[in-house]
Amino acid sequence: SQGIGGPCDCVADINNDGFVNAGDFTILAGQFNQAGCKTRGQGDLNCDGTVNAGDFTILAGQFNNCVRN
């Protein structure tokens, strides 16, 4: 299964394991509202420089619904 939109649309797959799951949530939660510029690999999914509710919303929308081939 390609999941939502195809194999390249798993923006919330922070750890690049092919799934959006608890591993990705753990990374995002560990950086949530921390000071400093953040990268996608640290959970800044919307690339605004901060890990916050906007990023959580993206992750929640793809959680267990996005699987890469």
Q: Nearest-CA neighbor of 48 among 61, 64, 31, 68?
A: 31
The predicted-structure confidence for 2-24, as pLDDT tens digits, reads as follows 344 444 478 999 999 999 999 99
Q: What is the DSSP letter of 63?
A: T
Could you tell me the pTM of the whole model? Answer: 0.82
Q: Tell me the β-bridge partners of 67.
A: 19
Cβ proximity of 49 and 38 under 8 Å? yes
pLDDT level of residue 64 (50, 70, 90 thresholds): very high
How much of the chain, in percent, has pLDDT values that exceed 70?
86
What does the alpha-carbon distance between residue 22 and residue 19 come to, in Å, rounded to a whole number? 9
